Each structure stands twice: as structure tokens, then as C-alpha cells.
Structure 1
């Protein structure tokens, strides 16, 4: 019986790239994913430099970084489902150029309002990774599909780490405007190169509105129990990670008895623990291909559950934070590889299913982050750990029915 992925391929025949293009397509997609994913978090480490340039304070311009999250969410809902119906070569090229233009406009902005508008557009258009992941899953051999998806996910997490660590260092050396221009050049170059290397897709003329994919999301999730479980479980996992990771800077930089009193730059180096995700992704992909997604997700949840008391202990001893940071990143990426592979192969519209999956995880993370900030204010670091633990319980307890392999 053909899988959902092969059914999708049958409806959208392609001309495969040959020679060097075919050999380096997956590494190229992973690299393009790293660069485009970094754009979402580009402003965050540059906020002190932006504030100084605009004669303001970092807290007064912090909302610019939050705008990027809303832009990315909007882009996911509008553009990512188009991967099922629109020629991806053209869409990747157009979105890459729009992102680059918005980043250049941001570099030329004279105030926070203009900068926020540019960041909003750039983040909405930088959804290229979620257009390419379904393509990777479609092209991959069935016995290596999760490993191919893991390669792209590794690129995504590497981009996030690079934005937070290297972006801050480059901004200190050359200024935040130069970082925006450099990101624009990289985005345009890699976006156009990736679009050129993608297989040619011969698809029938698309019918319906720009938002037809968005309208189809509820029915796609309703018809696939496997997709629903993947969405809920990743929302729980990503929520727990977000609660801990977004509140960690508050613990590290607090100068009273509740924190460690570290500088912002030193606390930012904790972002390097995100590199654990890049190393775990290929291993997780191999385990999914060998043992199935359900076992990998179960193991990831156990590891994440073990990291929560370690994070709590890290409120008193720093070494526990090191161990917990590695553990929760490994759990997050292993769960992500397994759940996203399942989401991409459980329906005949993988791009739409992938959109539902990513939006569910994003929503879980956003809600948990908001609750964690309030919990830290009222209950300290222990309250943050409690939010993370509750999110893991909710993500697992609501999906206790058997998962089909």
C-alpha cells in the first residue's frame, strides 16, 4: 500500500536535480534552514546596541524581538501550507528576496517603529525551512526518512544558536546594522541557490484563496489521530523547554539571593548548550528509523521529566543547570525529529500537516513562556520548574491512546 508521501508525490510529479545539485541538495537545504531560522532571533542579542543607537533603553525596545515571533506565526499560517499546491522553487526564491529586502530596510530604519515593521515582514517571510522539510521527507528513502528530516532540524537549531551567540559578537564588533545587512546577503544568496537546486515541480494551477491552506488545517488534524498526537505532544515538550529556557536569563542575571548575578553576556553563553540539539538530531533520526517515532517520543519525555528536578536544583548549584540544559535540549530535539517525521508522513497534504504541527508547538511554547514569567515573579525559580513539569504532564496525559507506528 503506498504511503501518504508517495501519494502526494504522484499528484505532483517532479524533475529531479542531477549531478552535483542532487548530491548536495540536503546539505544545502540544512544550511539555508540555519540561515533563515536565525533571522527570527536576529534582533534579540542586538537589543542593547539598538537601544543605544536610538537613544533608548533595552527594556524599551525589547518588544521589537517579540514582534518577530508574531511575524513568524503569521507566515507559518499563510505561507507554509502553500507547499502542497505552489511550485516551491518560485516560492522559496520570492520569500528569500522579501526577507532580504526587509532586513536591509531594518538596517536603514531610524526608529523602533520602522525597525519593528521590517522585522515583522522579515520574520513572516522567513518560513522557508517549513517549506523545505516536507520536500525532504518526500524525497527521502523510507528507511532513512527521519535521518533526512533530522539533518534539516539540526540546521534549524544551529541557526538559532548562531543568531543568539554569533549575532551578538558580530554586533559588538561591527554594529547591529551591519549584522542585519550581512543576514540579508546570506539569506538572498542561499535562498536563490536553494531554489535553483530544488527539483522542478509540475503542478496543476492552484485554485482557492491565499488562505485556503489555513482553512484546511482543522479538518486535516481531525482526520489524522497520529497528527493530532504529534501536535499535542510537541506542544507539551516545546512548552516545557520554553518555560525553562526563556526564564533562565532571569535566574542567571538576578543580583539578589534568588539568582547568580551574572552579566548578560555571560548568561548569553548558555545558548551554546543549544548545540547539543545539533548533535542529537542525527542520532534521533536513526532511532526513529529503527525503532519508530512512538518509542523515541516516550524516551524524550522521560529525559525531559528528569531534567525538571535538575533545573530546580540548578537554582542552588550551577553545575545542575549545565546538566539540565543539555538534557532538555536533547529531549526537545529527539521529540521534534520523531513527531515531525510522523506529522509529515501521516496525511496526503504534508505541508498543511507540517503547518499544523509547527503552529501547535509554537502555541504551546508561547503560552508556557508567558506563564513562566508570571510564575518567576510570584514564586521564583521553583514556580518556573513547576510550569515546565505541568506542561509535560499535560502533553503526555492527553495523548495516552496507542500510537500507530
Structure 2
């Protein structure tokens, strides 16, 4: 007989200060998995490696995150989510310190894998915020928390690039460990207690339900595929930017990090996108995200040799990524609150598998075909996304108004 999750207390409370705290937490923790992107050239130089090898290490980080999503995040449906978040933060601190102390590429690669696995706390926080959000405001709340996630991605590249230009690149990970330690102290006092009192199931039984959920909900499969495409296209660009800047302008990690600040447009747009997802069909907004990302690659291909073209393309690409992520999260979190962590796990697994493949193959194409190969790869991936969204999953609506 299958054991079911039992919810004894479904009271919900979420004020603006708690949403802000969750957004800040997501920003600080998710930054860990993106620190490597602007400093890939520095790592390759110190360890005497080819660019493609460092790209593979970046892929390991993304893969670690993806498998952490698949195996750890679902635990939020059977255990106290506050406790799970706090434990993950402790492990994230240890992983960052290992990267800081790494004497060679093998230890650094192992640390990168652990960083990916242990940095999934935001993906426990996101469904937790969605669960606590009042009905009719879920998209707005998720948009605010996801804007924090984007700030983490944005500032991680900037902080990493700038710090590596004045300090050894390892210092980035020491600072990361300190920041997460401070965050742990704040969350210990301020993070709300989990209102769900009882979850009668085992971890093994819970994991077995994940494939069943994927099979049962076409909208979940559609979101996972879309996340794969959207984030994959984003990482193809960001994983190769530092090499392109060095080739085109003789620039390095500092400039790559500063260009990442252009993603502030996506941060500012996230709450608005969340409100749009509450008012309109998220599927429509996801289509806009695909269009924007494709336009961005058109700009990169045609005008990327000019700094102005590169800047415009970055702004459009980050907007497209954010449109896709917020809208996908909104429809996924609207399926069934009792399985919100598992839904988020499946969606974000697809999302970061796309990111991992984008990082690896982006670096690979850069080595073989340069900037034209990078842009071509991004366009091909997005064409696949259009096919999946408009042809393969044209009518996957299983929840009201989604």
C-alpha cells in the first residue's frame, strides 16, 4: 500500500520581509555555481589546461547541481524544509572551502561537483515560498524570489571576475564560504518554521514517485524541456564570453564580470514577469522567452563583433532567460502544493542539465568554430525549444488558466 503525504497544518503566512530574506538567500547560495564562469581562463592558466578541460569542470558543477536537484530537493516534501535548508548551507560552506584550498585540478573538480550538489538550497526555498504564498499571488512571490536568484547569478559573475583581477582566483571561494556562514546565522533566527506537521512517507518511496509525476503531468515535462533549452542557450553564451573577450578585445575576467551587470534588466523585470504570469497564461510568456533568446543570438551573430551589439544582446538574452524561468516556475508550482518540491526538482533538473550541456558544448564549439560556432549552437538549441513548445507540447494545460 502506497504511503501518502499527510498535511496537518495548511496555514499560510508570508510577509514582504520574509520574501526578501528568501530572495537574498537564493542569491547568495546560487552564486556558488556561477563563480567559475568569468575565471575559467585564470584556472586554465594556473593549472596549464586547455579551455575545453576547464569547460568540462564547469559542466561538472552544473551536473552536480542537477543531480542535487533530483536527489536532494524532493526531500523538501517529506522533511522539515527549514532544517533541510540549514543543513545544505553547512555543506555548501565546506564545499567552497575545499575549492579555496584545492592544490590541483582534480581536487578543484571534486570541489566543483560538491559545490553543485550542495548549492540546491534555493530550490528548496522556491517551492517553500510558493507553498506559503497566498492564492493569486504565487507568481508575484515567485517572481520576487527568482529575482534574488538572478541577482545571485548576476553578481556572482561580476564579483568573481573583479576579484580575480586583483586577488588570486581562489579568494572568490573563501569569500563565498564567509557569506554563506553569515547567511546561516540570519536564517537560523529569521526563516519561518515549516507549517507542515506530518509527511508519512519514506525517502525511497518519495523518489519512486518522481518518474510517476513526470509521466502523469505533460505540463511538467514541457517545462523541464523548456528549462533545458532556455538555460542551455544562456550558458552557451556565458561560458564562452571570457574567451571571446580575450580574443576580440584582449580583455579578461574583470571585463567579463562587469558585462554580467547588464543582467540587471532581468532582475528588475522578474516581479513584473511574475505578475504577468498570474494574469495571463504562463505558456504564452514562455513563448516570449524563447523569442527573446533567439533574437539575442541573432544580435550576437550579426553585431557581436561590436561592443554595442554585445551589450544589447546580453540584455535581451537575460530578459529571455528570466521570462522562461519565472513563467515555468509559476505553472509548475501551481500543479499540486503537496508535491511542490518534487515538481521543482524535475523542472530544475532539466534546467541545469541544459546549463551543463551548454557550458560544455559551448566551450567545445568555441575551440572548433569560434564565435560563429557558439552562435550557431545557441540558435540550433532554441529551434529545438520552439519545436517542443509549439509542436510537441502544443496543449499541455492540466491546471486552470495555465
Partner of residue 388 from structure 1, selected from 358, 378, 389: 378
Tell me, in whole angstroms, the C-alpha distance in 1 between the residues paired with 2:374 and 2:44: 29
Partner of residue 57 from structure 1, selected from 48, 61, 64: 48
Q: What aligned pairs does 1:2-401 form with structure 2 within 5 A after superposition?
A: 11=7, 13=9, 22-46=15-39, 56-57=47-48, 59=50, 62=54, 64-173=57-166, 175-196=168-189, 197-204=191-198, 206-209=200-203, 212-254=205-247, 259-347=248-336, 348-400=338-390, 401=394
Counterpart for residue 4 of structure 1:
none
Alpha carbons of structure 1 residues 65 and 286: separation in structure 2 relative to 1, 3 Å: same
Say which is worse superposed, 314-323 or 152-161, in terms of deviation. Answer: 314-323
Instruction: Give the drift of 1:81.
Output: 0.7
Tell me, in whole angstroms, the C-alpha distance in 2 between the residues paired with 1:286 and 1:95: 30
Per-residue CA deviation, residues 192-232 of structure 1 (Å, 9 max, x unaligned), is 432542233343355334x5444332211111122122122
Tell me, in whole angstroms, the C-alpha distance in 2 between the residues paired with 1:379 and 1:364: 21
Alpha carbons of structure 1 residues 88 and 192: separation in structure 2 relative to 1, 3 Å: farther
Q: Which runs of no fewer than 5 residues in structure 2 stay unpaired?
A: none
Instruction: Give the drift of 1:337.
Output: 0.2
Tell me, in whole angstroms, the C-alpha distance in 1 between the residues paired with 2:224 and 2:95: 31
Instruction: Give the drift of 1:86.
Output: 0.8
Alpha carbons of structure 1 residues 391 and 105: separation in structure 2 relative to 1, 3 Å: closer
Tell me, in whole angstroms, the C-alpha distance in 2 between the residues paired with 1:179 and 1:246: 18
Give the aligned length.
388
CA contact (8 A) 2:96 2:176 kept: yes
SS in 1 for 2:137: helix
Instruction: Give the drift of 1:16.
Output: 6.2
Counterpart for residue 3 of structure 1:
none
CA contact (8 A) 1:88 1:201 kept: no
Let me know the Cα RMSD of the aligned residues.
Answer: 2.9
Instruction: Give the drift of 1:293.
Output: 0.6
Q: Which runs of no fewer than 5 residues in structure 1 stay unpaired?
A: 1-6
SS in 1 for 2:372: helix
CA contact (8 A) 1:48 1:58 kept: no
TM-score (norm 2): 0.86
Alpha carbons of structure 1 residues 100 and 143: separation in structure 2 relative to 1, 3 Å: same
Tell me, in whole angstroms, the C-alpha distance in 2 between the residues paired with 1:377 and 1:344: 39
SS in 2 for 1:200: coil
Per-residue CA deviation, residues 160-203 of structure 1 (Å, 9 max, x unaligned), is 22222113333555544544333223213323432542233343
Alpha carbons of structure 1 residues 331 and 133: separation in structure 2 relative to 1, 3 Å: same
Instruction: Give the drift of 1:91.
Output: 0.8
SS in 2 for 1:198: coil
CA contact (8 A) 1:368 1:391 kept: no
CA contact (8 A) 1:32 1:191 kept: no
Alpha carbons of structure 1 residues 305 and 270: separation in structure 2 relative to 1, 3 Å: same
Instruction: Give the drift of 1:351.
Output: 0.6
Tell me, in whole angstroms, the C-alpha distance in 2 between the residues paired with 1:109 and 1:245: 24
CA contact (8 A) 1:239 1:366 kept: yes
